[in-house]
């Protein structure tokens, strides 16, 4: 397969239009919805990250999490997604972060990136989740089995 067979690379000038979803929500997240958002006939690979609430952290048993957001969280999430779309050779980007009360096994964040080639999709997905964690003002309160809690990400 030659590069000509893969179709034209995405135009970097339209990064905003390549962000198909950038949402902070109190509703349950859907991997299928985000996979569909980044899929089209030019996509040859999808990078996917799914963050799931686990039952432990730092040696403590966790029962639940409460995610809180700053009013600018969704706009900041979109800005991060647009920057990643501009920096990488991707076709489409979709990202959602949940807020509110989550229990063990709930999906907390889903990132999907579609690209012509897998390397671009995986690299962009990795960058997006890392930058999201650093830059988007969403915080979690972890509730431990001991009845105590602590804030993370403040």
**Any domain includes 4:** no
Residues 106-115 pLDDT 10s: 999 999 999 9
**Any domain includes 70:** yes
**Any domain includes 10:** no
**Any domain includes 29:** yes
**Any domain includes 98:** yes
Mean pLDDT of 98-108: 99
Residues 142-151 pLDDT 10s: 999 999 999 9
Residues 21-77 pLDDT 10s: 999 999 999 999 999 999 999 999 999 999 999 999 989 999 999 999 999 999 999
Give me the pLDDT at residue 2, please.
44
Proportion of the chain above pLDDT 70, given as a percent: 92
Is the predicted pLDDT of residue 121 greater than 90, yes or no?
A: yes
The structural domain count of the chain equals 1
**Any domain includes 15:** no
Whether the full predicted model's pTM is greater than 0.95, yes or no, is: no
For the sheet with 107-115, list strands across it. 19-25, 92-98, 107-115, 45-52
Closest to 94 measured CA to CA, from 151, 52, 141, 47: 47
Q: How many residues in total does the chain contain?
A: 154
Give me the pLDDT at residue 11, please.
52
Which domain CATH number covers 47? Answer: 3.90.1170.40
**Any domain includes 80:** yes
Structural domain of 51: 21-152
Is the predicted pLDDT of residue 3 greater than 60, yes or no?
A: no
């Amino acid at each position: 397969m030659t590069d000509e067979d893969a179709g034209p690379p995405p135009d970097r000038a339209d990064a905003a239009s390549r962000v198909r979803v950038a949402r902070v929500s109190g509703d349950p997240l859907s991997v299928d919805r985000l996979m569909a958002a980044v899929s089209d006939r030019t996509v040859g690979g999808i990078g996917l990250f799914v963050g799931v609430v686990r039952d432990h952290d730092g040696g403590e048993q966790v029962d639940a999490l409460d995610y809180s957001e700053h009013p600018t969280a969704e706009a900041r999430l979109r800005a991060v997604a647009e920057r990643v779309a501009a920096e990488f050779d991707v076709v489409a980007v979709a990202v959602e972060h949940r807020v509110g009360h989550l229990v063990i096994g709930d999906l907390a964040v889903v990132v999907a990136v579609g690209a012509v080639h897998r390397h671009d999709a995986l690299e962009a997905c990795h960058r997006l989740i890392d930058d999201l964690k650093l830059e988007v003002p969403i915080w979690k309160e972890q509730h431990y089995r001991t009845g105590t809690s602590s804030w993370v990400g403040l």
